[in-house]
Amino acid sequence: MSEECDCPPCEEGLPPWLATFADMMALLMCFFVLLLSFAEMDVLKYKQVAGALKLAFGVQRIVKATEIPKGTSVIAKQYSPGKPTEVTPLEIMREQTTDDTKTNLDYSDSKSKNDGGIGEAEAEAIAQQKAQREAQAEAEELQDELSEAIGDGLLEVEAFNDRVLIRIRERGSFGSGLAELKQDFLPILKMIAEVLNQRDGHFVISGHTDDIPIETRRFRSNWDLSSARAASVVHFFIREGDVDPERMEIRALADNEPIVPNDSWENRAKNRRVEISVLHGDYQAIDAVSPAENVDYVDTPAVQEQQ
């Protein structure tokens, strides 16, 4: 068994060299604090350097979404191969990212030459052209079926946008300033009801007058007269023509939609009319531009004439 070594007793307290080391660390800390306090930081230059690094390495910034992106669908309905990027040795390769500042979401690229689909505007134009062709064909059919009344000058049939207009003139249908149908005109109206029953869709019956005011015991204004005439046609269609009431609508337009200027007896007679709009498909499409807005003229004061 080896003999135990007798170690000298340790002195109390920290070793003397530790004080020198602590002083050196404190001096170094003060030195670097002074260097930082003397230095000036150019914030603009720092942002430019940081931005250059972001573009060089393709770093995207994080944008907090305040609202859900707007779009028909997140998934594109049409797919096409992406366009190759033409890169020359002098150009810089960078990551292609989407513009995340847009409000609306782009879910398809209808303008791409490789895309076999069509855009929304082009689809609407095609649908409108198809509706106009169908309305024109139906107007020709109605002209053949109502040729006798059209030849007598009592009716007019024309296609306008996506609907067909059957225009009933005042001559032969109503008396001056009255809303009762003439007996001689009832067979023609019966024939119109039979033609309407053979077709689908909605029928809008609108009454029109000229610009001469009217004020009698029954009619306070042209509004009352135009609505009463339209109502007389609808009541006849329901009683004698068996037309479904749910497919009809009455509109009173008074003198607000003339088709010709109210500057002569003949023109005022043309404006006093009842129009039947035959509408297929979308019921709200009847709110399209009125045929009267195709008339381009300036109203001139005219001599008061009896309606």
Asked whether residue 138 carries a pLDDT value surpassing 60, the answer given is yes
Asked whether residue 170 carries a pLDDT value surpassing 90, the answer given is no
Residues in the chain: 307
**Residue 124 — pLDDT band, cuts 50, 70, 90?**
confident
DSSP 8-state assignment for residue 254: T
Contacts of 175 (CB under 8 A, 6+ apart): 182
Listed by start position, the domains of the chain span: 122-292
What is residue 232's predicted lDDT score, i.e. its pLDDT? Answer: 93
Mean pLDDT of 134-147: 82
Tell me what the pLDDT averaged over the chain comes to: 75
**Residue 78 — pLDDT band, cuts 50, 70, 90?**
low
Mean pLDDT of 205-215: 91
DSSP 8-state assignment for residue 170: S
Tokens of 47: 């942002």
DSSP string, 103-131: SB-----TT-TT--S--HHHHHHHHHHHH
Tokens of 294: 């195709």
Sheet of 273-279, strand order:
155-160, 163-169, 273-279, 202-208, 248-252
What is residue 306's predicted lDDT score, i.e. its pLDDT? Answer: 41
Tokens of 148: 């006798």
Q: What percent of the chain has pLDDT over 90?
A: 20
What is residue 291's predicted lDDT score, i.e. its pLDDT? Answer: 54
**Residue 297 — pLDDT band, cuts 50, 70, 90?**
very low
What SS3 state is found at 258? coil
How far apart, in whole angstroms, are the C-alpha atoms of residue 121 and residue 124? 5
Asked whether residue 66 carries a pLDDT value surpassing 90, the answer given is no
| Run of H or E residues at 166 | strand 163-169
What SS3 state is found at 164? strand
Asked whether residue 110 carries a pLDDT value surpassing 80, the answer given is no
**Residue 137 — pLDDT band, cuts 50, 70, 90?**
confident
Tokens of 165: 């207009």
What is residue 115's predicted lDDT score, i.e. its pLDDT? Answer: 47
Mean pLDDT of 205-218: 91
**Residue 172 — pLDDT band, cuts 50, 70, 90?**
confident
Candidates 162, 178, 140, 134; CA nearest to 274 is 178
What is residue 278's predicted lDDT score, i.e. its pLDDT? Answer: 87
Tokens of 140: 């020709």
Decide if domain 122-292 falls under CATH 3.30.1330.60. yes
Contacts of 228 (CB under 8 A, 6+ apart): 179, 207, 218, 219
Q: What percent of the chain has pLDDT over 70?
A: 67
Asked whether residue 53 carries a pLDDT value surpassing 80, the answer given is no
Which of 48-62, 155-169, 187-201 has the weakest average pLDDT? 48-62
Mean pLDDT of 263-278: 90
- 242-272-262 Cα angle (round to 5): 160
